[in-house]
């Protein structure tokens, strides 16, 4: 879309990723993600599979164990949203 972002995925032992225009980041259910730094023109687009919606949590007391139940109830995508049926998302998700 525009700009760049430095994002942290996966909690304290996770990875820091630099993303820029044209990059695609797919975040499976339950993976924490945080914007660490961004350009002033940073914009992104988020999408969810049909009939699913986001469930934002912030690591606050009381969010669990319901959050864990919600994560287990999310089905992996039927196809890779970028590469279609031959894409790696379904294999990597599982």
Instruction: State the DSSP string of 10-52.
Output: SSTTSEEEEEETT------TT--EEEEEE-TT-B------TT-
pLDDT in tens, 4-54: 999 999 988 999 999 999 999 999 888 999 999 999 999 999 888 777 778
- What is the count of structural domains for the chain? 2
pLDDT of residue 38: 98
Q: Are 39 and 65 members of one domain?
A: no
Q: Are 43 and 64 members of one domain?
A: no
Q: Sorting pLDDT into bands at 50, 70 and 90, what band is 92?
A: confident
- Residue 53 inside a domain? The answer is no
* pTM listed for this prediction: 0.79
- Residue 8 inside a domain? The answer is yes
Q: Which domain holds residue 4?
A: 1-48
- Residue 80 inside a domain? The answer is yes
């Amino acid at each position: 879309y525009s700009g760049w972002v430095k994002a942290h995925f996966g909690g304290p032992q996770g990875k820091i990723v630099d993303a820029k225009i044209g990059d695609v980041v797919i975040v499976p259910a339950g993976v924490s993600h945080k914007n660490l730094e961004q350009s002033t023109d940073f914009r992104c687009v988020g999408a969810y599979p049909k009939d699913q919606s986001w469930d934002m949590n912030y690591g606050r007391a009381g969010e669990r164990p319901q959050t864990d139940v919600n994560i287990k109830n999310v089905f992996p995508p039927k196809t890779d949203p970028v590469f279609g049926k031959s894409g790696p998302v379904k294999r990597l998700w599982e």
